[in-house]
Chain A
Amino acid sequence: MARNITYREALNEALAQEMERDETVIVMGEDNAGGAGSPGEQDAWGGVLGVTKGLYHMFPGRVLDTPISESAFIGAAIGAATAGLRPVAELMFVDFMGVCFDQIYNQAAKFRYMFGGKAVTPVVIRTMYGAGLRAAAQHSQCLYPLFTHIPGLKVVLPATPYDAKGLLIQAIRDDDPVIFFEHKALYDLTGPVPEESYALPFGEANVVREGGDVTIVTLGRMVHTSLSAAEELARGGVQCEVIDLRTTSPLDEDTVLESVEGTGRLVVVDEAHPRCNIATDISALVARKAFGALRAPIEMVAAPHTPVPFSSALEDIYIPDAQRVVNAVKTVTGWSR
């Protein structure tokens, strides 16, 4: 039965249900319980995000706090995955990938290929991304394009509580390394989520709004921005089809291409910086494989090529908003030779 819960609660429920189902699932990260070695409460925080709250007492010995040593514990999660566990490690902010990236892209991502198919590394690295909380340049980046670039990794970005639960369960059950991106502005988003366990397959985009005039391809938090824009445009008679990619690796090319074949117009909305991001990737895909269907040049809406600024006056214009999406749609619908 579905009830309305938050994105945070949906993630917590996914972890609890998988830990209950499979005793090889463990959780580790900085303050994932919280209070290790302190005189006060154990499970003091449940992660700085609160996602792992309560698991420490439910699953004794399987929720591990770590020192602030991302290389060591992300690497340990990867090593443990090769040895029969299914670790879910929390990299608190994806911005911290700089201090542990080797273990992710040179170790986990490559074991299977470079060892001739002999390694299985079912590790999940959960991480928080995105702007909007005045967290400034080193705690607000998107960075999923960097991971999407690496063969051997799967990259997942749930936009709703329903997807958060189903995609995290799939990530834990998946036998390949998965980088699981949680947008920090979505944790309190509420939506219907079934109580029972379910897994959503990777590589299947979600058409979150149907429409015949323009295709909007987006992901993560920008799904909501794009839906707001689509609603406003509908009032003016322009019907947008909004596609949430859900996973950038694997990528559901077919859903994107089929939609563009129908609409002939594409706007890609991506919170990442504009060079070599998901918007450029989708644009290249459509330009190569659906060129004949295009009735207007592709428009991209992305953050600017700058670090994420701190001041609200700047951050609010840094993050792509619905008005920019509306403008992009108007550009492609108004285009003529």
Chain B
Amino acid sequence: MTDTVERKALTGEQLLSAYRAMRTIREFEERVHAEFATGDIPGFVHLYAGEEASAVGVCSNLDDRDTIASTHRGHGHCIARGVDVGEMMAEIYGRSTGSCHGKGGSMHIADLSKGMLGANGIVGGGPPLICGTALAAKIKGTGGVSVAFFGDGGSNQGTTLESMNLASVWNLPAIFVAENNGYAETTSSTWSVASDNIADRAAGFGMPGVILDGFDFFAVHEAASEAIARARDGGGPTLIEMKFTRYFGHFEGDQQTYRADEVARARAELDCLKRFADRTVQTGELAQADLDAVDAEVAALIDQAVDSAKAAPLPTEADLLTDVYLRY
């Protein structure tokens, strides 16, 4: 793809903010992993650790006009969009103080006031919805852009393929982000995706396709910036494929017998946080002390979130029947 947008350097503040978001996701997920093992967290939990550069690289280009739809692996997208971490943790613990008052859980965390249309328990559930929010932005002339995140598994759903076609036919300000972490549950994307790359399908839907190293925040930020600017200007949708690895199993409890040693290698050599820190400190854009301060601040934030969640009240029986309808 040709570089049509002049690359703008990120300010120190923007860099620190991106680092903070990625570190918050990592710390959140590592902690949920540890707490899940104690048996205190109910239900199904799918962790995003390893994929932070995708959520933050894309969402750091978005503003109040914009909407995203996420997946069952949605914590990272929520944090990147600014959803309150304390409320998220409380939701994962099923507490009434949670983002969804304990009625959604890990797979359904949403905050429409933050342009976050929900994690989604249905693979391929988000892309059609994002066509709608993009259509609303187009009709109302807000300049808003909508982003659908989906995995390599979701890339094979008809909903996703239909939505890419519709987005092109209607020329919508929509971005399709395929997070190819290598596995749909246990099934390798090298087996389930018939083309060499998910992004190769973009041509079939009349939109640009971009393939990225999903561990590289700067590559993601730049490609997303270009695609989002084009969408805002009426240039239509883009399909962006991230290639990377998730650090944990499909869900917590997954023994991951289908995997070799790729996680250890990724953590050692490819990790998005490590590379971000190395680069920004090396260029002098950020100081190691700034990053250390963020690390400490985030660790305290997550401690606080877990402590508060554990202490928070559970929903009561009266909550069972509320919020089915506005009026019935």
Nearest A residue (CB) for B159: A71
Once the chains are docked, how many angstroms separate the CA of A114 from the CA of B328?
17
Q: Does B135 contact A175, Cβ atoms closer than 8 Å?
A: no
Residues of A within 8 A of B146 (CB): 79
Residues of A within 8 A of B128 (CB): 71-76, 78-79, 103
Question: Chain A nearest CB: distance from B21 CB in Å?
Answer: 22
> Which of A74, A103, A107 has most chain B Cβ within 10 Å?
A107
Q: Does B132 contact A118, Cβ atoms closer than 8 Å?
A: no
B-contact bits for A165-196, CB 8 A (1 contact / 0 none):
00000000011100000000000000000000
Nearest A residue (CB) for B326: A175
With known contacts A151-B324, A176-B327, A79–B117 Cβ distance under 8 A: yes
Question: Chain A nearest CB: distance from B150 CB in Å?
Answer: 13
Once the chains are docked, how many angstroms separate the CA of A84 from the CA of B132?
10
Stretch at the interface among A5-13, A58-66, A227-235, A314-322: A58-66
Q: Does B117 contact A82, Cβ atoms closer than 8 Å?
A: yes
With known contacts A83-B137, A115-B100, A102–B122 Cβ distance under 8 A: yes
> Which of A78, A103, A107, A115 has most chain B Cβ within 10 Å?
A115
Contact of A83 among B67, B113, B118, B327 (CB under 8 A): B67
Residues of B within 8 A of A113 (CB): 103, 323-324
Interface: B325 (CB within 8 A): yes
Q: Does A114 contact B125, Cβ atoms closer than 8 Å?
A: no
Nearest A residue (CB) for B91: A116
Stretch at the interface among B104-112, B214-222, B255-263: B104-112
Q: Does B323 contact A112, Cβ atoms closer than 8 Å?
A: yes
Stretch at the interface among B24-32, B160-168, B279-287: B160-168
Interface: B265 (CB within 8 A): no
Query: Considering the complex, which residues of chain B in the window 281-328 have a beta carbon less than 8 Å from any beta carbon of chain A?
Result: 322-328
Interface: B39 (CB within 8 A): no
Once the chains are docked, how many angstroms separate the CA of A79 from the CA of B108?
15
Contact of B110 among A61, A118, A154, A176 (CB under 8 A): A118
Question: Chain A nearest CB: distance from B278 CB in Å?
Answer: 39
Interface: A207 (CB within 8 A): no
Nearest A residue (CB) for B325: A176
Residues of B within 8 A of A120 (CB): 326
Interface: A243 (CB within 8 A): no
Interface: B139 (CB within 8 A): yes
Residues of B within 8 A of A83 (CB): 67, 132-133, 136-137
Q: Does A75 contact B165, Cβ atoms closer than 8 Å?
A: no
Once the chains are docked, how many angstroms separate the CA of A106 from the CA of B93?
22
With known contacts A102-B125, A115-B104, A79–B132 Cβ distance under 8 A: yes
Q: Does B100 contact A116, Cβ atoms closer than 8 Å?
A: yes
Interface: A26 (CB within 8 A): yes
Question: Chain B nearest CB: distance from A120 CB in Å?
Answer: 7
Interface: A81 (CB within 8 A): yes
Interface: A158 (CB within 8 A): no
Residues of B within 8 A of A119 (CB): 110, 112
Once the chains are docked, how many angstroms separate the CA of A106 from the CA of B69?
14
Once the chains are docked, how many angstroms separate the CA of A177 from the CA of B67?
20
> Which of A71, A72, A174, A203 has most chain B Cβ within 10 Å?
A72
Query: Considering the complex, which residues of chain B in the window 144-190 have a beta carbon less than 8 Å from any beta carbon of chain A?
Result: 146, 158-159, 162-163, 165-166, 169-170
Q: Does B324 contact A61, Cβ atoms closer than 8 Å?
A: no
Interface: A152 (CB within 8 A): yes
Q: Does A75 contact B327, Cβ atoms closer than 8 Å?
A: no
Interface: A111 (CB within 8 A): yes
Query: Considering the complex, which residues of chain B in the window 64-97 have a beta carbon less than 8 Å from any beta carbon of chain A?
Result: 67, 69
Interface: B273 (CB within 8 A): no
Interface: A245 (CB within 8 A): no
Nearest A residue (CB) for B128: A75
Once the chains are docked, how many angstroms separate the CA of A106 from the CA of B163?
17
Residues of B within 8 A of A80 (CB): 132-133, 135-136, 139
With known contacts A72-B166, A106-B121, A117-B101, A79–B131 Cβ distance under 8 A: yes
Interface: A132 (CB within 8 A): no
Q: Does A75 contact B99, Cβ atoms closer than 8 Å?
A: no
Residues of A within 8 A of B110 (CB): 111, 114-115, 118-119
Once the chains are docked, how many angstroms separate the CA of A111 from the CA of B130?
14
Interface: B229 (CB within 8 A): no
Residues of A within 8 A of B140 (CB): 84-85
Residues of B within 8 A of A151 (CB): 324
14 A-B residue contacts at CB 8 Å? A66-B169, A67-B162, A72-B131, A76-B131, A76-B135, A79-B69, A79-B117, A82-B117, A83-B132, A111-B118, A116-B323, A151-B324, A152-B324, A176-B328
Question: Sorted from nearest, which 8 A-B pairs have the closest CB atoms?
Answer: A75-B128, A79-B132, A79-B129, A116-B100, A83-B136, A80-B132, A72-B162, A117-B323
